[in-house]
Amino acid sequence: MKKTITFISIVVVASLIAISCKKKTTTTTPATTSTTGTSTPPVVSISSTPQVSYNLAGTNYTYVSGSAIEAASGASGSASSTPGVNGSKIYSADLDNGSNITYLNINWGTLSFPFGSVIPDTATFRHFFTLGSKLYSPGGVNGVEVSTYDASGTAWSTSLGAGTQTSSTFSVVAVQQQYLLGPSGDQYMKFMAKFSCTLYNSSGGSKSLTNGVFVGYFENM
């Protein structure tokens, strides 16, 4: 599902029912196509248009949300139908081409919330996305996961292969609470992260990702 969004912002520096969903969030800024080469990524802040830039195996990439590139948010997990058993969610944010090419995806979990709730309450959701360093974790279950696809469609992820991230870093440098105007009142956390990591494919190959900067959204869904 796609929609154009307008935000207001507040800056803030066991029986289970399975749930998985993803929502596209487009902007009104002009399209900026992906670029490769040796150019320096633009200076960005939490107020910037959703985007990602990074160096992968010696090549720089920059993708900025516009008419040809989309920022997406999603969540997977479960809401509990058993009293005393919590539900949980893993949240995702990415930049993609609107169909089947994901330029870069970040998963962040696991957020627990009480029985009887389909989604976390506003305060729980907001305080889950904190500033500072985060650990890499397979699937983002207990931290973060970074993944992408190359031109041939091969997946590369911090969770594949050896998954070793001894010298890798992931730091959230800014967060911003946002609401979608109108009757839906959807809740988002916009965030800016800087990161470096090693990506692996399922065959054991690896690539070094450095100078990563991501500005995007997680939605309370």
CB of 85 closer than 8 Å to CB of 115? yes
Q: What does the pLDDT read at residue 22?
A: 54
Residue 50: closest CA among 194, 190, 210, 212: 190
The two structure tokens encoding residue 146: 């970074």
Per residue in 59-87, pLDDT (tens digit) is 999 999 998 999 999 999 877 777 777 88
Which stretches in the chain have pLDDT values below 70? 1-42, 179-185
CB of 91 closer than 8 Å to CB of 145? no
Q: What does the pLDDT read at residue 42?
A: 59
Q: What does the pLDDT read at residue 135?
A: 97
Q: Specify which residues 118 forms β-bridges with.
A: none
Q: What does the pLDDT read at residue 12?
A: 32
Q: CA-CA distance, 59 to 147, in Å (whole number)?
A: 16
- DSSP code per residue over 78-125: EEE-STT--EEEEEEEEEE-SSS-EEEEEEEEEEEE-TT-SS--HHHH
Q: Give residue limits of the domains in the chain.
A: 7-219
pTM: 0.81
